[in-house]
Each structure stands twice: as structure tokens, then as C-alpha cells.
Amino acid sequence: VTVQRACHNSFIEWAKGDSPHAKYTVSSVIFVAQIICVAIGWILAHSTGGKEDLKKCFDAGNLTKFAHIGLIYALGDIFEMESVNYIDSSTYTVLSQSKLIITASLMWILDGSAQSMMQWFILFTTSSGMLEYVLVGKAKGGAMTFSVFGVCLALVKVLISCYVAVLNTKALKRDNNPFPVQFSCLKVSWAMASLVYMIVKDGILGDGMFGEWTHRTVVLVFCGFILKTLFNQYLLKVLDAIWKNISEAIGVILVYFGRVMFLGGKYDPTVFNAGVTVVLACIAYVLSKEGKAKKSEVGDELDPNMYPDLTTSLLRHRRA
């Protein structure tokens, strides 16, 4: 998941070719990717659960349950694609790591999942490293591309992504339907929102709904958006939004080297060190959560309430 997510941002930049802005329309890439994802969800549902699970994909209740989440995800995709038109992929990836502290805050507010003081300081360290990366890269100039408008789009994408990831994690874990059913229902509203955006922005207000597609655009759709959404949704299903963001954070270094090796970027040790700082802070945050979980497990083992059968048998013997 980490490798694919890192490649996804590079694919968006690579798909532009030599043009400063993408010749394909952002809306068409998102719409085509989501339509294919809907079909994949139906195929997976039928192959794993037969006609019964396939029928659930068209149930109005299931579609309604995930409709608002799919709409918000579509907005996030739009801001992501537009932002990478104005800033380079490595800068976007580092900026996106601010979602760690935002997601932790949202999970605290919406889910009651509190963070320790140490974890908050680690998250602030992550944000500081992210800011250092951007400022150092801007000072060095060179292959890094900056735009105030692009940075603003990226930050809006981060806010949307954080909010919807927390919502989706709760929805996936509370819903009893199989994952392919959940996935297809989510993608239907996602695709419909993308279609409306494409018709209005590039059809009615633009010159063409699809623009100019090349083989790079096709690679972006299949190896970027489709794989990303499959991996991310399953990761949210089995883990949580924090772990998804940690996976993306570790991809910072991969994106940086991908830009140096394949996209004409120039290696700069100062910028690279700032990126490493972000990754190390993210890993420290993971370890702090694991340590907390292990402490809780030991406490559970020592808690008599964790052994109701033993307690019942002892009380029965005492009464006798």
C-alpha cells in the first residue's frame, strides 16, 4: 500500500508530460476510475457471495448509507488532482502529512480516541518537519514546484481526506455487509458526484468533458486511482484512518527518490533530511501507539473481569 500510494502522486505529475498543466480533464480521470471501481465491486461481490451479495449492491439502504461518504471522497479527489497541477508530487506528499495531526484531532472529537501528551508532541514534530521540508525546498529552488494556490488546494484536500477517512472507518466497521458490497455502494455515489462535476465544469463551462487522453492518462487511472482506492478502502476496513496516514507518510521518501530518478529532480541532502525527519516522526508515533496497546493488553490479562467463566466457577464453589 505504501509503495502504491507513493507512486500514485508521481503518476499524477508524470501524466502531465511536458505540459505545465494536464491536457486531460481532471473530472474525466476521476469519473472513469470510479466507474471501473463500481464494476470491480460488483464482480468481487458476485464471485465471493453469489447473486445474494450482488443484489445487496443495488439495495437502496446500502447505497444511501455510503452516499454522503462517496460524495466527500469525490471532492477530495478533485482537490488532489487540481493541486498537483500547481505543485510537484514530493511537495504534495509532504504537505499531506499534516493529516496525521488533523486525523488524530478528529478521532478525538468524533470517536473519543484520545492521544497521550507524548503522541501529541510527536505529531507536532511531524508537522514541524513537514514545514521545514517545504521551506528548505522553496529556498533551494531547482526542480521543486511551488504555488500558493496549489498549496491551498492541497491543504483543503487534507482537511477533506481526514474528515472522510474517520467517517468511512466507522461506517465500514459498523456495517455488516461484505467488503465488496460496501466498496461498490461507496463507489456509486463517488462516480455520480464525479459525473456531475465533469458535466458542469468541463462540459457546460468547458471545451470538452475528456480533454486529451494519452497512454499516460490510462496508466494513471488503472495504476493510480483504481489501485489506490482498493488498497485504501481495505486498509480502512481492517485497521483505521491513522494507519492509512502512516502508510502514506512513509511514502514521502519513495516519492522524493522517484522524482529524482524518473522525473528530472535533483537530489539535495538538506531537503532529503527534512523528508527523513517527517518519516521518523511518523514511525515514532506508530511505536507510541503500539506501546500503549501492549500496556493495555497486560492490564487486561491481570484484570479478573476478563475471566468471567473462572469467576463464575469460583463463586459456585463458594456457595456450595
Task: Note whether 273 and 132 are within 8 A (CB).
Answer: no
Upper half-sphere CA count for residue 247 (Cβ side, 13 Å): 19
Length of the chain, please? 320
- How far is Cα 53 from Cα 236, in angstroms, rounded to an integer? 21
Cα separation, 28 vs 214, in Å, equals 13
Q: How confident is the model at residue 97 (pLDDT cuts 50, 70, 90)?
A: low
Contact by Cβ (8 Å): 215, 18: no
Q: Is 301 or 181 the better-scoring residue by pLDDT?
A: 181
311, pLDDT greater than 60:
no
Contacts of 10 by beta carbon, 8 Å cutoff, 6+ apart: 89, 255, 258, 259, 262, 263
pLDDT tens digit sequence for 13-38: 778 777 767 788 888 888 998 899 89
Residue 298 has pLDDT above 50, yes or no: no
Q: Are 49 and 178 contacting, i.e. CB atoms less than 8 angstroms apart?
A: yes
Q: Can you tell me whether residue 206 is helix, strand or coil?
A: coil
Three-state DSSP class for 213?
coil
145 vs 214: which has the higher pLDDT: 214
What tens digit of pLDDT does each residue of 220-278 get?
Answer: 888 888 888 777 767 766 666 566 666 666 776 777 776 677 666 677 777 777 777 87
Give the per-residue pLDDT at 274.
75
Of 178 and 256, more confident: 178
Name every residue whose Cβ is closer than 8 Å to that of residue 76 and which is 6 or more positions away in sequence.
Answer: 157, 160, 161, 164
How does DSSP classify residue 143?
T
Q: From CA 177, how far away is CA 58, in angstroms rounded?
A: 12
Strand residues in the chain grouped as ranges (E):
none
Nearest to 224 by CA among 37, 2, 5, 31: 5
Flag whether pLDDT at 174 surpasses 50. yes
| Residue 136, number of CB atoms within 10 A of its CB | 17
More confident residue, 113 or 291: 113
Contact 176, 26 (CB under 8 A): no
Cα gap 318→285, rounded to integer Å: 48
Q: What is the mean pLDDT of the chain?
A: 76
* Pairwise CA distance, residues 317 & 313, whole Å: 6
Handedness of CA 147, 148, 149, 154 (dihedral sign): positive
pLDDT band at 188 (very low <50, low <70, confident <90, very high): very high
Q: Which of 91, 96, 95, 100 is nearest to 281 (CA)?
A: 100
The answer to whether residues 198 and 209 touch, using CB atoms and an 8 Å cutoff, is: yes
Q: Which of 58-72, 140-154, 174-188, 298-312 shows the lowest mean pLDDT across its residues? A: 298-312
**What is the DSSP secondary structure assignment for residue 30, as one 8-state letter?**
H
* In the chain, domain spans: 1-293
**What count of other Cβ atoms lies within 10 Å of the Cβ of residue 301?**
9
How high is the pLDDT of residue 109? 75
